[in-house]
């Protein structure tokens, strides 16, 4: 196998789009800090647009419907004779564990991401006290920092920030993969009335989301609905144009947090302390801090015992609470 002067490393991360978005600033910080590093990324093929911006990134997009042998064959074919200075499993699930095991002859070093899954579960079950856990991005960095000590969470890059003129636009991403994390659409009308001199861009990706958004807001000339046909690059450019962005705990929140636009995020059954908070935007979080049953979920899936808590955590958030954070964001 070829061993070049450049350091080739392999990162493995599947999971949700939001979790993969949080890998982007880590990759960019690593590339900026270490000019001799070439980063190979194994992830869902749908995530290619997140990692096609730098020639030192080698993207291996896999079809997650394929079996593990097909995925391994694809990785070996793509990387060919490359010998990796390190393989970093940033997911640590059965699929990634198989991959790192069968690729062990292509490296002398394998590092594994620590999830603290059991600790998060115990917090939700109220077996231990709610305290801030490390952010997912910081955990990615911890896995890499052993071999790349110059990178740190304190100098993480706001990767998707574009120098572009701000317009009087408020971006809104009112939907989430889990309906438990969605604020009632009716609440936005009070906000739109308050900011009636702003254009409103509603991000609604998915047929059902478009139907719901159209039904609720189509009569409002102030509102435009953005569909999934918009490329990721265009989405990022639009978010950067916004004066402020409102989001639930969702992939859109993570995406917007890496732009130059302040993000007001609305939290219900989940909690930013569990490691998935909005980077650079902690001061603009809207949540019910005194609701003792929170968090009642790590990701948004709710069991029958927590349905009441999940409902209260969202219905208890008023339009005024969101407007207060919008005012803070716009003032700055």
Say if residue 220 is exposed, middle or buried (CB neighbours under 10 Å; 0-12, 13-18, 19+): middle
Q: How far apart are alpha carbons 212 and 114 in whole angstroms? A: 38
Q: With a threshold of 0.95, does the pTM exceed it?
A: no
Angle at which helices 136-145 and 24-33 cross, to 10°: 40
**Residue 142 confidence (pLDDT) above 60:** yes
The pLDDT value recorded for residue 3 is 45
The position carrying tokens 């908070």 is: 277
Q: Interior CA angle at 29 toward 24 and 31, to 5°? A: 95
- Sort 193 into a burial class: Cβ within 10 Å, 0-12 / 13-18 / 19+: exposed
Query: Which tokens go with 27?
Result: 């990759």
Provide, rounded to the nearest whole percent, the portion of the chain with pLDDT above 70.
Answer: 98
Q: Is the per-residue pLDDT at 205 higher than 90?
A: no
- Mean residue pLDDT across the chain: 95
Q: What's the confidence (pLDDT) of residue 325?
A: 99
Q: Provide the pLDDT for residue 5.
A: 67
The mean per-residue pLDDT over the stretch 37-47 comes to 97
Sheet with strand 7-12: strands edge to edge: 57-62, 37-44, 7-12, 86-89, 110-112
pLDDT tens-digit series, residues 164-195: 899 999 999 999 999 999 999 999 999 999 99
DSSP 83: P
pLDDT value at residue 1:
42
Rounded CA gap, 59 and 42, in Å? 7
Domains along the sequence of the chain with CATH: 7-155 (3.40.50.2000), 169-331 (3.40.50.2000)
Q: What is the mean pLDDT of residues 117-121?
A: 95
What does 163-203 look like in DSSP terms, one character per residue?
-----SEEEEE---SSGGGPPPGGGHHHHHHHTTTSEEEEE
Is the pLDDT reported for residue 126 higher than 60? yes
């Amino acid at each position: 196998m070829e061993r070049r002067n450049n350091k080739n490393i392999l990162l493995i991360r599947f999971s949700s789009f939001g979790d993969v978005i949080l890998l982007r600033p880590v990759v960019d910080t690593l590339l900026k800090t270490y000019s001799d590093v070439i980063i190979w990324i194994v992830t869902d093929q749908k995530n290619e647009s997140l990692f096609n911006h730098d020639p030192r990134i080698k993207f291996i997009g896999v079809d997650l419907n394929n079996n593990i042998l097909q995925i391994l064959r694809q990785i070996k074919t793509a990387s060919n004779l490359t010998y990796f200075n390190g393989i970093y499993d940033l997911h640590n699930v059965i699929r990634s564990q198989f991959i790192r095991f069968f690729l062990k002859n292509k490296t002398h070093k394998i590092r594994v991401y620590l999830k603290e899954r059991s600790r998060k579960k115990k917090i939700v079950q109220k077996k231990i006290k709610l305290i801030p856990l490390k952010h997912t991005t910081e955990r990615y960095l911890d896995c890499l920092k052993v071999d790349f000590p110059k990178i740190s969470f304190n100098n993480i890059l706001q990767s998707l920030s574009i120098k572009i003129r701000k317009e009087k636009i408020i971006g809104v991403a009112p939907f989430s993969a889990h309906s438990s994390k969605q604020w009632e659409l009716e609440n936005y009308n009070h906000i739109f009335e308050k900011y009636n001199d702003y254009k409103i861009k509603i991000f609604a990706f998915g047929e059902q989301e478009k139907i719901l958004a159209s039904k609720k807001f189509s009569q409002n000339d102030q509102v435009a609905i953005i569909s999934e046909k918009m490329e990721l690059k265009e989405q990022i450019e639009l978010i950067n144009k916004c004066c402020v962005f409102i989001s639930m705990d969702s992939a859109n929140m993570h995406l917007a947090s890496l732009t130059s636009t302040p993000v007001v995020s609305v939290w219900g059954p989940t909690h930013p302390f569990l490691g998935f908070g909005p980077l650079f935007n902690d001061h603009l979080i809207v949540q019910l801090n005194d609701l003792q049953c929170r968090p009642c979920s790590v990701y948004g899936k709710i069991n029958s015992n927590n349905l009441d808590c999940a409902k209260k955590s969202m219905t208890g958030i008023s339009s005024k609470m969101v407007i207060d954070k919008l005012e803070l964001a716009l003032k700055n």
